[in-house]
Structure 1
Amino acid sequence: MRAQILLITLLVLLPFPLFAQDEVVIPYKIKGYLEGIGNGKVYLYSYDKSKGLRVDSTRADNGDFVFSGVVLEPVLTYLLARSEYYSSAVSFKKQTPLQFFLENGYTFMIEGRYGTLDKAMVSGGLINADYKRYLNAIQLANGEKNVVESKLKNASDEDQLTLKKELKKANDKLFLQTIQFIKRNPNDLLSAWLIGNVVYKTSSMQVVEQCYNSLSAEVKQSAWGKKLYTQLYAYKTMQKGTMAPDFARKGVDGKDVYLSGFRGKYVLLNFWTSWCVTSRKDNIMLNNLVEQYSDKNLQLINVSLDKNLDNWVNAIRSDKLLGANVNAFFKDKEGKLAASYNVRTLPLQVLIGPDGKIIGRYNSAENLHKSLDSVLK
């Protein structure tokens, strides 16, 4: 199954620091009470694009708990709790987490009960107020989607086809209401987040650009707004016939790899990861293609998005990858190389001509093969 680069998995958007070096940052604070957890533990999960998954925890005192900290930018956060009365790991994992946005400088009040964390009351922060309005706006469509998804779990093979059509209609309705919310609320920072984490994942870049253009100038200058601009710019520079962004990276063998150093050759960029099954299958096909076109002046550069360098190196050895091998995150926590090529899904191959211009982008080695036959004939 093709790996999607998404919100908490891999939506590649460059992080922009929000704080100047001399700026005083006021930490956020969370004060909460959860009935039914006693002296259990409370957990906060969030995703930092430069550090990965972040987990914070604290011990409750008869249900009361406190968190404090600083975030690089407003971030969607998930809260879970482990009750001292229900120690089963199964009951812990079955919980639906509470979702809310953390922002520096605000105190957040949370009140709820164990077992129904997703229904807990949250107050505090500008974005959470907008988020509540958004959830209210999509409540009916979201409810329809949940009902159909529930029916699908126990549906017969005969009923599944009908229910899947109903689910598509519900998702289309939900998507349309999200677009309407964005365009009706151009001054909301949440609108930029929705574009990057809902519209971006499920629609074309043309729709993303339309939504971005509807944002106010102030929201466009926010960290989330700047990320969207970066992605749109990368998309526009990735079209057929445009110059491929140059880069320089250390190869796995320690040698420097410059894209411009291969000018005069056809260059094939292969974006992949060790954990993507489809990528690993494509690696085998790409090795075969390199050997097949060995007399056609073709250079393969494999660009891994692995953050674990040991997994990356082991996968290279296992797949016996030909060509140059570089890592997008080696000495670059932001992964600018992947962002500059607008990597949205894996695997991805980009074919570049001898003149340094992009010939095409492909989401499988099989599709690439058909293009190579015509280009390198």
Structure 2
Amino acid sequence: MKHYLIFLFALLLAACSNPQKTPYLTLKSNGKLLSNAELYILKNNYQLFDKAIIDEESKKLMFIKDSVPEGIYELRINNKPISKLIISGTLPFSISGNFNTAQPNLTINGNETTKALWKCQEASLKLENEINAISAHIPDSVLSSDYIRVRDSIYTSINVAINRKKKEINRVIKNHRNTLLPLLAVQLSAGNHKIYNHEVEADLIYEIRNQLVGQYGSYVPVKQFSASVDSIMNRNLFNALTKEGRILPSVSIPDAWGKNVLLDTLIHQASLLVLWKSDDNHSRIISKQLMRWTRSYRRQGLQVYMISFDNNREGWLEAIKQDRLALLHLSDLKGKESPLFNDFGLTNIPQLLLLDDKRVIVKRTQELEELKPAIQQLIKN
């Protein structure tokens, strides 16, 4: 009996000295048995963090560590990148499916942030397929007279598809604002098309930057993202003379007949300045809507002027004619080399500047629909 008790005590001591650790990530393959799985953490670049071990009984791969820092990871099977993961305090979690196909079909449980990331990545992949389908309809040859129409039609379809997917991704970001997901989501691309243009959407990107720095300020990828955003903001909205709340610069610009016009002498009531370029797709989308969209506001007193950053007079005048823009048009025909481009603090066009009767910029945007509340308020007052 004494020897039996000593044996039991030894077994208990051995068990206590080698406690069974709980895996923070388990992989279960529905296809070929997995053999070599590694997890890489993103710092300055991806660095090996952990290697999986095989549970002989269940044949699952398990990642086991005492401490797993919050961050962005990449799962690799046999040195092949499989998926990005966001690991936070929601441990443990598991991934199952077929890891061995060209595009793995995986299911994740216990990690809602990564599930949301995969949803965003799936949206960008679908967008890429949509863009490829749109581009496939470009005819092999086009009459010169139809070129602009065909080009604008293709670009418009692509922009509509991008904006639709962007709204879908924005909803996901909103639900996971307090995680690292926005850092990856706003860097998604669909082929050669960035879903988020960081300069065009500087306000949103800056808001995300502030949120990330507040929560993950010491994480290297967040530091790098923050530095990039700060660089954009320094040359965009925060140093721009056309930032909301500032008075529009007093500048002289030639009209379509070459006569110089002092901009500040034009603005004595609510005014909309459209900064555009005739061969810019987004600009033309706005110009083709502009007369109809502003008709009721113009009847109530809104003045509308267009300032072009063209460098081709014929193309500029032809676009005015095609889009029936019966407005005052100004341009020094120096394109983006125009001093106005810097004076207005621009990094991209088009831009829509809504001003009150004192030349104060009350709204700056790239979309007509975003002007509605501000225009209605100005006209009401």
- For the aligned pair, the TM-score class normalised by the smaller chain equals 0.3 to 0.5
After TM superposition, the score normalised by the length of structure 2 is: 0.41
Higher radius of gyration, 1 or 2: 2
After TM superposition, the score normalised by the length of structure 1 is: 0.41
Using CA pairs below 8 Å that are at least 6 residues apart, which structure has the higher relative contact order? 1
